[in-house]
Every structure is written in C-alpha cells, then in structure tokens.
C-alpha cells in the first residue's frame, strides 16, 4: 500500500533530507489514489505551485548548513508523534475496511464519493456481498446484546 511510501518520505523529511524526492509530489500521488483524500491532494498541488520559490529558498538554506528539523532539540518527539499519527491512521483504515466488509459497503468511501475509484459513489451499506465472518466478528456482538435485551424486556423499543 502507499502508506509505506508515505511513511518513508515523512521520516526522511524529519531526518532533514528529501532523498531527491519532493514530499509534496509523493504525498499528492499517494493521496490522489484514495478518494477520501482527493481534496487534500488538490490543496497540496495548489500550494506546491504557490510555494515553489519558498521551497527553493528552504532547500538553499539546508544546503548552506542551516538547521533542519533533525537538528531541532524536539526532533525525536516530533518523529515519535508522526509515527503515532501514521500508525493511528493505519488502524483506522483497517477498522473502516473491516466494518465496510461486514456491512457490504465500499471500503474507500462507503458510497459517499462519486469520484471513488472503487465504487463511483454507489457503494453504500448493503451494496456489496456481506462478508459473513467480518459481520459475525464486528456486528454480531451488538446484535447479541440487542437480542438479549429484547428477550429480557420484550416491550422495550
């Protein structure tokens, strides 16, 4: 998945280098592949065009030996925070994909994005075949709770 590439680029930037790759270009490429982040990618592209001069100045400053993020005293804390954010993003994506499979929805947009590369915005709950194992694991406990509540209190709505 693109998250490994994204992680590598962000960590390289935190270390003070770019490896000859524009972070904006890589992030834009990664984010455009995911319809949930299409707007972010568009903003980044627009910002990249507007900031070409400031990027060149920043690169010149780094080449002149001026401080980079990796030289900052809080760089390890920033790197740890970035890793935590990336890990959380991966966990949330995995959870969303499990729930989408359990409910028969598009794993990318849940049917809410007409430009989705997977479903073109038609993948709402129940559109795709429900993954029975995912349903039992993710939704089953909630159904069990409801069924038990209604057995004990049959007049409860």
Q: Is the Cα torsion angle 17, 21, 27, 30 positive or negative in sign?
A: negative
Query: Which tens digits make up the pLDDT trace of 90-128?
Result: 999 999 999 999 999 999 999 999 999 999 999 999 999
Total domains, the chain: 2
Residues 77 and 147 in one domain: yes
Residues 79 and 156 in one domain: yes
**How many Å apart are CA 115 and CA 138, to the nearest integer?**
28
What's the DSSP call for residue 115? T
Which residue, 50, 69, 88, sits at the end of a domain? 69
Domain ranges, residue 56: 1-69
Residues 138 and 79 in one domain: yes
**How many Å apart are CA 82 and CA 3, to the nearest integer?**
13
DSSP, collapsed to helix, strand or coil, labels residue 19 as coil
Residues 93 and 122 in one domain: yes
Residues 79 and 123 in one domain: yes
Query: Are 69 and 79 in contact, with CB atoms under 8 Å apart?
Result: no
Instruction: Answer yes or no: is pLDDT of 29 > 80.
Output: no
Which residue, 48, 69, 90, sits at the end of a domain? 69
What pTM did the predictor assign? 0.54
Query: Which tens digits make up the pLDDT trace of 57-82?
Result: 555 555 555 545 555 667 777 788 88
**How many Å apart are CA 136 and CA 130, to the nearest integer?**
10
């Amino acid at each position: 998945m693109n998250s490994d590439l994204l992680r590598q680029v962000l960590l390289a930037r935190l270390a003070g280098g770019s490896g000859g790759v524009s972070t904006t270009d890589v992030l834009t490429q990664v984010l455009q592949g995911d319809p949930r982040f299409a707007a972010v990618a568009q903003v980044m592209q627009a910002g990249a065009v507007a900031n070409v001069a400031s990027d060149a100045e920043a690169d010149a400053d780094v080449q002149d030996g001026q401080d980079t993020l990796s030289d900052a005293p809080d760089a390890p804390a920033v790197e740890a925070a970035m890793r935590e954010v990336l890990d959380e993003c991966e966990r949330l994506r995995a959870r969303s994909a499990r729930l989408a499979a359990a409910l028969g929805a598009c794993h990318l947009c849940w049917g809410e994005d007409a430009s989705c590369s997977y479903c073109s915005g038609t993948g709402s709950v129940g559109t795709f075949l429900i993954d029975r194992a995912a349903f039992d694991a993710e939704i089953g406990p909630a159904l069990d709770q409801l069924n038990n509540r209604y057995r004990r209190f049959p007049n409860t709505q």
